[in-house]
Structure 1
Amino acid sequence: MSTLSFLLLFLSTFAFIAGGSAAKSWALSDNNWGLLVLTLALYSAGNLIMLRLVRDLGMGVALSLSGFVQLLAVNVVAFFIFGESIAPLHAAGLVLGIVAVALMTYPV
């Protein structure tokens, strides 16, 4: 994976995590339309960046890598910034999801 692809993966992940954080903030607010517009803009930016990654890396690799990185990052934000917690069964599912995506991205 080239340096540019790695940078684009980081930028798309940042856009998606920022979009998710804006969505959580909107959900906790009293229908703040500014947060809703920000959420949509961030998710749109993340998807536009992903289009370039799909072109460069292929759909399977790009979306698997993105899913793996986002799965880790979104849970870090949810736990440490928003103070969320999950049940043990959900934690097991999270671990299995990480293992599944990691296996999908493992080169054969």
Structure 2
Amino acid sequence: SLLLLPLISQFIRNKRGVIRSRPPPSPSRLYIIARMLGSLLHRSLMQLSKKHGPVMLLQLGSVPVLVVSSTEVARKVLKMYDHVFCNRPVLEGFRKHLYNFKDVGLSPYGEY
């Protein structure tokens, strides 16, 4: 689930205005800070998933991050929203130095 954090975070940032349903359960921000400062992050996330379920929303600063800790749910999310995760994040430095995303490694998914 740690590998999916940046991708799902980007998905939530891009779709923030579109999501109309109730957000997934989320622990308090102070609890997150206390747990994330420990050395065993994977165990902290496992304990949170036992309490809040396989899908939970963590607020890391100003960025909401959707954490999926179940393989079945992760498979469904990646199958349903594969078009969202196929592109790389849009960073202004990439736009400036790589010819407006015309580079082979960073070009957007789809027709060229």
Question: Which TM-score tier does this pair reach, normalised by the shorter chain?
Answer: under 0.3
- After TM superposition, the score normalised by the length of structure 1 is 0.28
- TM-score normalised by L of structure 2: 0.27
More strand by share: 2
Larger radius of gyration: 2
More helix per residue: 1
